[in-house]
Structure 1
Amino acid sequence: MADKEKPGNAFVETVKTIVYALLIAGIFRTLFFQPFWIPSGSMKETLLIGDFLFVNKMAYGYSYASCPSLMLPNIGIEVDAEDVCGFFDGDNTRLIGGEPERGDVVVFRHPVSGRDYIKRLIGLPGDTVQVKQGVIHINGDPVKLEQDGTFEEEMTAQGPQRLRPRCENGPLGEGGTCIKSRKIETLPNGVSYPVLNIGNQQSDNTGLYTVPAGHYFFMGDNRDNSADSRLAQQVGGVGFVPYENLIGRADRIMFSSAGRSMLFFWTWRGDRFFKAVE
């Protein structure tokens, strides 16, 4: 008759299994794909609050920003990528570096706060970028814009943060139809995507930006509801983003939920499962 496994040995084996699983998950997340939940509406309608995607880290190579952060301030856990891999920081280079393309939807580290942001790449190093009456001008030339109807959504709290949308058709009561003007924007390299408008505001007319070497200029597709490169880092924007701060490219939505929790299956958006990010 075989000897029974001792309780102490079983516990040690369980701990080892958990440690190995965490190590494998950490390596996978660091080198290949990082999960990312969309927390806000700055990239509507390309990305909606509650979309879940994996960020392709292989697209641009690796830097200190490739190390995962673990931010759980409610329980006192705040492990930043710079705490783990900060020794790679400082030279604005990458290992096995790949160049991002204009129009890519990119996750990057905010140059000051270190928080992860997701925006669309508009300006490359050396470009001049200016917004005039809501139209982007790149190197002096306006990008192509075509009217494309409206984007509509329900006026209700969205996602775990219970954010409510801003609407072009004014303040609405609960359950009303929130409307934004929709246009198709086409960049000089032919990349096209929808952009939304809420109204005329200061960010629709900017100064002339010249993107420094080794940096990039980003904007959200929901133009009037995005803190992006149009605002300096010190006033709530992201300014110019260094090459080394890029984390990866958003390629595909894996899952989407319109509710407070992914467990609320009745709020799942089945039509967005495995949808390509364009």
Structure 2
Amino acid sequence: MRWFEIALVVLTLVTGVVWLLDRLVLAKRRTASQGLLDDDGEPWYVDYSKAFFPVLLVVLVLRSFIAEPFRIPSNSMMPTLLTGDFILVNKFAYGLRMPITNDKFVDIGAPARGDVVVFRPPHHPDQDWIKRVIGLPGDRVAYFDNQVHVNGVPVGYESLGTYQGIDSGIEMTGAEELVEQLPGRPHRVLERSSLPFLDPGQGEWVVPAGHYFVMGDNRDNSEDSRYWGFLPEQNLRGKAFLIWMHLDGGVDFSRIGESIQ
């Protein structure tokens, strides 16, 4: 959706410049020409700019600095988030950032372990992805035999039984649903313990300064830091906090208003 952000910024700037130019120069010229043969009506581009500039400005400010809507496009965050969930992302949780460039100009906070974050992955800088923060700067993170270890301490798990998927998530039916006791943020994950091949996502990593280690809650169906590396802090877009709609083969009203844990 980066194209939408670029278009929104450009349209806001263009309509704003026209509005300001009319207020400072063009309107005075029209007033001075009243009573002459010249047409003293507002040009169409001034009329449109005056109508759309306030709306575009409000949308740009809200979307860039307050909250931005996103749609979940894949199953990588099941069971926490499902394909078709429409979520809201807090854009000021980790600092205020400029539209398009994503450069931070006000430092407010930093991700906590367990936060669900939206970001631009280093290998796909034009896309917005969503994962969970597992490792903070300086942490030693390991993942072996479907178990996360943080700084040498294995994370505990509580089984909730066999998962039953629906709609686009039907492929995960039969996986084991567990509560992962991540320090400070217990949350649900999906695991398949009977896969017939060696998990290529196993390993141990030390998170460098200014970076984070992120993973999807659907552990066997997530392209995350286990495969492409660490998430730079400057690539963060915000913190996911609310599901405001679910549409995947129909509307699921039970998910509307659900907070993201």
Q: Which amino acid aligns with 2:251?
A: W
Secondary structure of 2:109's aligned partner:
coil
Which residue pairs with 1:250 in the alignment? 240
Larger radius of gyration: 2
Which residue pairs with 2:190 in the alignment? 196
Secondary structure of 2:174's aligned partner:
strand
Does residue 183 of structure 1 match 2:178?
yes
Which of 85, 95, 111 is residue 122 of structure 2 equivalent to? Answer: 111
* 1:136 and 1:143 in contact (8 A); partners too: yes
Which residue pairs with 1:207 in the alignment? 203
Does residue 60 of structure 1 match 2:94?
yes
- TM-score by structure 1 length? 0.73
* Structure 2 CA distance for partners of 1:165 and 1:150, relative to 1, 3 Å: same
Which of 245, 255, 259 is residue 272 of structure 1 equivalent to? Answer: 255
Which residue pairs with 1:48 in the alignment? 82
Which of 213, 220, 224 is residue 224 of structure 1 equivalent to? Answer: 220
Structure 1 distance, partners of 2:159, 2:116, is: 22
Greater Cα offset, 18-27 or 124-133: 18-27
Greater helix fraction, Structure 1 or Structure 2 = 2
Secondary structure of 2:59's aligned partner:
helix
Which residue pairs with 1:78 in the alignment? none
Which residue pairs with 1:153 in the alignment? 165
Q: Tell me how large the CA RMSD over aligned residues is.
A: 2.2
* 2:66 and 2:90 in contact (8 A); partners too: yes
Structure 2 distance, partners of 1:149, 1:133, is: 18
- TM-score by structure 2 length? 0.77
Structure 1 distance, partners of 2:82, 2:200, is: 22
The alignment-based identity, stated in percent, is: 40
Structure 2 distance, partners of 1:151, 1:7, is: 66
Secondary structure of 2:106's aligned partner:
coil
Structure 1 distance, partners of 2:41, 2:105, is: 47
Q: Which amino acid aligns with 1:148?
A: L
Does residue 126 of structure 1 match 2:126?
no
Structure 1 distance, partners of 2:54, 2:72, is: 29
Q: CA deviation at 1:63?
A: 3.5
Which of 90, 109, 112 is residue 101 of structure 1 equivalent to? Answer: 112
* Structure 2 CA distance for partners of 1:9 and 1:248, relative to 1, 3 Å: same
Stretches of structure 1 that go unaligned for 5 or more consecutive residues are 1-5, 68-80, 159-163, 168-177, 233-238, 260-266
Aligned length: 219
Stretches of structure 2 that go unaligned for 5 or more consecutive residues are 1-39
Structure 1 distance, partners of 2:162, 2:237, is: 32
Secondary structure of 1:184's aligned partner:
strand
Does residue 21 of structure 1 match 2:16?
no
* 1:130 and 1:207 in contact (8 A); partners too: yes
Secondary structure of 2:220's aligned partner:
helix
Q: Which amino acid aligns with 2:256?
A: F
| Residues 111-161 of structure 1, C-alpha deviations (whole Å, 9 max, x = no match) | 12111110010000000111110000111111011111122124x5x3xxx
